Chains A and B, each alone.
Chain A
């Protein structure tokens, strides 16, 4: 049996990768299959040490590719095991086919992802093109702002994924290097608290139940395929509720409440930025600075990207004094109007009959720095948009011309 290490709550100086590995240890999954890819590697280093020293009960599969990592996780999950993998950037891209298999087969696999840019050119640093590329593969997607959020989100993800109303894979993204390799204070739960929070899985249609043999993954022709896709949409709608419930329960445990979005000084804001991931931290700091100068600026951080919290976003915008909105995407949608987050926000507004000046901002591709000055620049763009000035569909931050 797994050893109890953390008997008291602690605040520790951890990187995002350490915090993720710690969450994995405390969750003590049945099967973890993974393949090394920068900047995810460390998660597996730490976890492999737990395995090697008997601190977890996990069957740890060091497979020969990310494709096989998720394939093995699919097999394990269909057998009823609590299965996990972790990857980054091109690794997630290689998993892409099986992400759809996992969600289509309704298997609750938890997948921490360290966000990394996709090739070419090859680049190991952060952007969100990996998860954005996989956004329509039917997985729940959460983004973390810092190491502690990643820790908390991974723990909540087990509950969300396995909820009978959901049964979908959950991908939890944290920004490569910016979060994965930076040391921050992380407040940890005790082993017992995590064990209790994640609970025990129920065996649903297990392949190991040989007295009740089931067929997983049959071929569905035109007469049934669409029904299963409709079921997946329903599961995502349910996930919207379940993510909120898990967040509320987690708040009771840890005090910190997780919702689909987090707002920062939006109540009276005239200029709002919408952002995901680590840039939210920088943006909050920038908002404080600009507020000191008397500027009415605010921030919406999107935590849940799938299912997208359409109502939450619009309600917050509507309750503010907004004159213009800037949506910051850490990914490109080549040939689209702007980035994927921009599109979601526009859809949310339009379908509620709310038309505000809005502009797209692309930043931080391939690890390009995004500091206070760049966020200020983003607010400047939003202000120009509010003033009716000519603003291009996409403004690139920190780009050499």
Chain B
């Protein structure tokens, strides 16, 4: 296990220089095309942006992927889209699996049996179901044991791989196949679980929320996670055109709107200190975000105005809490 150091040192935000995109284009993509993610699935963009940061920092990612869209679509035998070492074990154990790999790394290093001495970083990759729900215990245990790894959650706010069932990451009133918007119950009654703060509560050195639309911020945060000793948790917004009933070309736009409406604030937490990385000059109404997506369509019917109001309150409450946390 990693030595528990009081306060790991961070590469500061200013120290992370994102090279011009043009320079990054010369790097080799570590995720090959031919994967079968849906048309317009932003998870593909997220993976590419992860590898951009890793390549620029000269890290090889070793990935444990929970069952889910990305896992299924990138590893249909005999094809793999991965150009880095990759393992899928099951749905609920990406964190336990990657910490096993990390422990093996330490053990084999001690024995002088490592096949390579290049820089590696261990990554657990899971959707919101594999993170907020079924993988929660495994994730919590891995954080507490203080392994050196990055946990990446691509959060598309429902079980998309199995057919758009609600998860604890689904926002209030969103329509899913297991909590459809009906005449009596208008979608999911409960608000979204606030995962980042749960991660912070473990006392891990780095937690951040990212959105692929804001690739500069994404690059910096991923680079910081790479350079963090101990566990990092990255909560990444992932538009799902299929599950959200959105237009295929609007995945990045929706990501932008999520950030601009404060639905998906960009922040980071270093050793427990909160910092909001982007404060929209003019806060847009959450309506701008909602109206692009069929999963919220019922909220716009007359008589349902309160549903929008309630979701707006969820967003405002979280933003106000963030502002307070930042003052701590």
Which residues of A are at the interface with B, using a C-beta cutoff of 8 A?
30-31, 33, 57-59, 61-65, 67-69, 71-81, 83, 97-98, 101, 203, 206-221, 224
Contacts and interface: CB of A to CB of B under 8 A. Distances in A.
B107 A213 contact: no
Interface in B103-157: 103-108, 110-111, 113-116, 118, 120, 137-138, 140-141, 144-145
A207 B87 contact: yes
A221 B77 contact: yes
Interface in B47-100: 60, 62, 64, 71-72, 75-78, 80, 82-90, 92-93, 95-100
A97 B99 CA distance: 19
Nearest to B124: A75
A68 B100 CA distance: 9
A31 B100 contact: yes
Nearest to B73: A219
Decide if the interface of chain B is mainly helix, strand, loop or mixed.
mixed
Given A57-B107, A217-B87, 12 more contacts: A30-B111, A31-B104, A57-B111, A75-B99, A76-B103, A98-B93, A207-B104, A211-B116, A218-B77, A219-B72, A219-B75, A224-B78
Contacts of B106: 59
A218 B76 contact: yes
A81 B111 CA distance: 10
B16 interface: no
B96 A63 contact: yes
B60 A210 contact: yes
Given A219-B71, A219-B72, A220-B77, A31 B86 contact: no
Contact of B137 (A62, A68, A80, A212): A68
25 contacts: A30-B103, A31-B107, A33-B103, A58-B107, A59-B107, A61-B99, A61-B145, A65-B137, A67-B138, A68-B137, A71-B89, A71-B97, A72-B96, A76-B107, A77-B104, A79-B105, A81-B103, A81-B108, A97-B90, A207-B86, A207-B101, A212-B115, A217-B87, A219-B77, A221-B77
A80 B116 CA distance: 13
B104 A214 contact: no
Contacts of B98: 75
Contacts of A221: 76-77
Given A75-B97, A80-B108, A220-B77, A214 B85 contact: yes
B1 A59 contact: yes
B131 to A, nearest CB: 15
B101 to A, nearest CB: 4
Given A210-B120, A221-B76, A75 B138 contact: no
B12 to A, nearest CB: 28
Contacts of A101: 89-90
Nearest to B63: A207
B103 A31 contact: yes
A155 B85 CA distance: 31
A139 B1 CA distance: 29
A159 B107 CA distance: 20
A80 B113 contact: yes
Given A64-B138, A72-B97, A218-B77, A208 B90 contact: no
B100 A75 contact: yes
- Among all A-B residue pairs, the 7 with the closest Cβ atoms: A75-B100, A64-B141, A72-B100, A81-B104, A79-B104, A218-B75, A30-B107
Contacts of A80: 104, 108, 113, 115
Contacts of B138: 64-65, 67-68, 71
B115 A57 contact: no
A156 B127 CA distance: 41
Given A57-B107, A217-B89, A79 B101 contact: yes
Contact of A74 (B71, B89, B92, B114): B89
Contact of A215 (B75, B103, B104): B75
A59 B83 CA distance: 28
B103 A72 contact: yes
B129 to A, nearest CB: 16
Contact of B100 (A57, A74, A211, A220): A74
